[in-house]
Chains A and B, each alone.
Chain A
Amino acid sequence: MGEVFWVGGRVAVRHLDRDSRRGLLLVSPTAIYAILLLAVPLSAVVLFSFWTQDFLTVDRTLTLANYREAIAEPLFRVLMLRSLTISAVVTAVTVILAFPVAYYVSFHVRPDRKALWIFLITIPFWTSYLVRVFLWKVILGFNGVLNTSLQGIGLIDEPLTFILYNANAVVITLAHAFAPFAILPIFVSLEKIDRSLLEASMDLGENRVTTFLRVTLPLAMPGVVAAVLIVFIPTVGDYVTPRLVGGPDGLMIANMIQTQFLRLNNAPMGATLAIIAMALVTVVSLIFVGLNRRYLRGQKR
């Protein structure tokens, strides 16, 4: 008997080997591509961050001098903090505005129309991101669409100036740009909720509001957390939007990284700032992944 099992076990192992070999073969083009285009430049950036710029040449002795300077320099700290704050606000605004949209499409749109609605939500992507940012400039500007309209109907006497060339403009523009990215994961998690759970909650005495709070929202949390990550991670490093609509007060860390690399010709400092930004994003992301794991408990079926 033991021998049979042993033989069986060996056969199973050999099958697994062949499977994993085929699996490796299948992922290898992607893996090679990813290593070449992600890992290599990333290692270069990490390496650069430990070098220093010595006027026109790069000093290749490994040192933590850049990190010390980056942490000590108030400007960098201000920009880093502002990046995190703007991203956090953008994420909050985007997710809070995306949730009702996703909820409406999932719960109140006829099933045969849902695909159409999702299709419509992606329409902003049909034009270039740059074009959309410029359009926001036209809308939010001193003599822009918003100000002239509001003045036209007599709601304001003077053009509003707090909506362009500052952090507010960056938040408005980014929140619009990332809305579909937030709507989709929340929509998917809402779609997965078994509707009889909501009826069960009503049956057990809860009204619509408490049913939402006790059943719908907790079950939609994986989608919300995914939306938070999808919006937060890229917005921290965004530099086009602050550059175009942010003005001097809306500049973020990515703009400084660009300046260090291109204008100040200090690649090591740029690399250091990039690594610090990445580390901070990683920490925030890990917190949310941890939260997600808590909410994913019990939703394997």
Chain B
Amino acid sequence: MSSDKALISLRDVDKFYGDYHALRDVSLDIFPGEFFSLLGPSGCGKTTLLRTIAGFEDVSSGTLSIGGQDMAGVAANRRPTNMVFQSYAIFPHLTVAENVGFGLRRSNYSRGERHARVSDALEMVGLGGYGKRAAHALSGGQRQRVALARALILKPKVLLLDEPLSALDKKLREQMQVELIRLQRQVGITFVLVTHDQEEALIMSDRIAVMFEGRIAQLEEPEALYQRPGSRQVAEFIGVMNFLGAHVISNEGNALELDVAGLGHAVIGRDQCPGGPVSGMCHVGIRPETMTLLFEDRGDGPVADGVVDEVVYYGDMTYYDIKLDGVPKPITLSMKNMIGRPVLDIGTRTKVGWDPRALVAFS
């Protein structure tokens, strides 16, 4: 994909609030029809970046273009973007239909057409027949749907979503995640989502930009981001990652021979060093679900020995903290709970099966 096909294009964007450096040298391209997420902890600049795209903040330096047009000096009301606010920003003095139709006033539609489009938009978000209700009488989930309908009715090139699901309870949030994906496929509009919830970003996005301290740390598709995080920081932010000390024994051709604390000898490919080449002392990361407890001693891969240090039962899964022999800090692994599979007690000696293909090495 070349950058001239990009719908939103940022080049070397910096943003200062007084002395505070909110965005540092951000360059990225967002392509038409993409579900793009900005993921990071609070204060990482993801919301600032979204508000910059929306036109509520100026860039201090660098350029931002949308649809090939430079957005410098273009106010929010003239940009082809619409936003779903974190607070939803539903106008409390208007009805649901008046809220949804708010942006249509400046359009050339007749009254009838406007009315039809409002009911279509409400239908689309599953609020058909709610038009006459007062906005303040809606539940959190319904307000969110109104905010979505109000933004989508204007058929923007880009829909910006600022933590739209963070105010909803878990069940409703999961339901809305699926609905948002469905909606995005249906309307074909580019979605840019800001979230601090890595799980949400993984579930919903085509691509994710992970941000720390105003900088883009990594920009990848969800699978690659999860399996090959580009740095320890990203690895720790996305899901759970165990880190073990290691040192490089040999480094020949495409293979890297390591001695990993607690696991032992391992040979990994060069693609398993996503953060750049490693040498000498290094760290090796491994995800909890890539390891298994060997209840009967019959693993065909490499095996490590350890003692169960903690057991956390989740219903579908059990998380074990295991103290590997020779490693003081326990590592976490997860096991699917199946019929006939026991949950081990704390203090039990056990064998851990692992796969060298699941390792990632960082210098």
Contacts and interface: CB of A to CB of B under 8 A. Distances in A.
Contact of B89 (A196, A207, A298): A196
B135 A204 contact: no
B282 interface: no
A204 B154 contact: yes
A66 B356 CA distance: 105
A206 B136 contact: no
Contacts of B109: none
A200 interface: yes
A41 B75 CA distance: 61
Contacts of B136: 298-301
B89 A206 contact: no
Given A298-B94, A298-B136, A205 B77 contact: yes
A255 interface: no
Contacts of B86: 196
A199 to B, nearest CB: 6
Nearest to B86: A196
Contacts of A206: 77, 103, 105-106
Interface string A273-301: 00000000000000000000001011111
Interface in B51-88: 54-56, 75-77, 81-83, 85-87
A218 interface: yes
Contacts of A301: 92, 136
A16 B151 CA distance: 47
B77 A203 contact: yes
A191 B89 CA distance: 15
Interface string B91-113: 11110000000110110000000
A7 interface: no
Given A205-B103, A215-B91, A196 B85 contact: yes
Given A297-B134, A298-B94, A301-B136, A202 B87 contact: no
A169 B54 CA distance: 51
A200 B93 contact: no
Nearest to B94: A298
A298 B75 CA distance: 30
B92 A219 contact: yes
A197 B134 contact: no
A215 B154 CA distance: 19
Interface string A204-229: 11110000001100110000000000
B228 interface: no
B150 interface: yes
Given A297-B134, A298-B135, A298-B136, A203 B82 contact: yes
A201 interface: yes
B76 A203 contact: yes
A237 B87 CA distance: 46
Contact of A298 (B55, B106, B134, B151): B134
Interface in B40-57: 54-56
A200 to B, nearest CB: 4
Contacts of B54: 203
Contacts of A197: 89, 91-92
A197 B76 CA distance: 13
B91 A207 contact: no
A194 interface: yes
A194 B76 contact: no
A202 B135 contact: no
Given A206-B106, A298-B135, A301-B136, A200 B77 contact: no
Contacts of B89: 194, 196-197, 199-200
Given A204-B102, A300-B136, A199 B91 contact: no
Nearest to B75: A202
A205 B76 CA distance: 8
B102 A199 contact: no
B77 A299 contact: no
Nearest to A200: B89
Interface of A: 194, 196-197, 199-207, 214-215, 218-219, 295, 297-301
Given A204-B82, A204-B102, A298-B92, 8 more contacts: A194-B89, A199-B83, A203-B54, A204-B154, A206-B77, A206-B103, A298-B136, A301-B92
